[in-house]
Amino acid sequence: MASTAKLVARAVFENSPFVRCFRCLSRQAGVAESDARKAGQHLVKRDEFFITRRECQFCGRTDDVLVGGKAAA
């Protein structure tokens, strides 16, 4: 899990300031989408990322995306 989280986190930072949905992010990181989502939740718990709904800059779908930083709330 730790290495999957690392791959996912790196992909998010590579895309910044753009965002990708979990489907595109998982392909980019080379992991399964379900693993990418699990890794995302793991990263959110560490308070370094948050999940929100945005349009994916890659496929154009509006879906859950993982964003680096803390949620503005």
Is 18 among the residues that bind Zn ion (CB under 5 A)? no
Which one among 56, 65, 66, 67 touches Zn ion, defined by CB under 5 A?
Answer: 56
Shortest Cβ distance from residue 20 to Zn ion (Å)?
Answer: 5
**To which residue do tokens 């859950």 refer?**
64
Rounded-to-integer distance, Cα 70 and Cα 29, Å: 22
Is 58 among the residues that bind Zn ion (CB under 5 A)? yes
Q: What angle do CA 42, 59, 40 make, to 5 degrees?
A: 0
Total interface residues for Zn ion by CB under 5 A = 5
Strand segments (E) across the chain: 49-55, 62-68
Shortest Cβ distance from residue 27 to Zn ion (Å)?
Answer: 9
Q: Which two tokens stand for residue 20?
A: 């990708």
Report the interface residues with Zn ion, using CB under 5 A.
21, 24, 56, 58-59
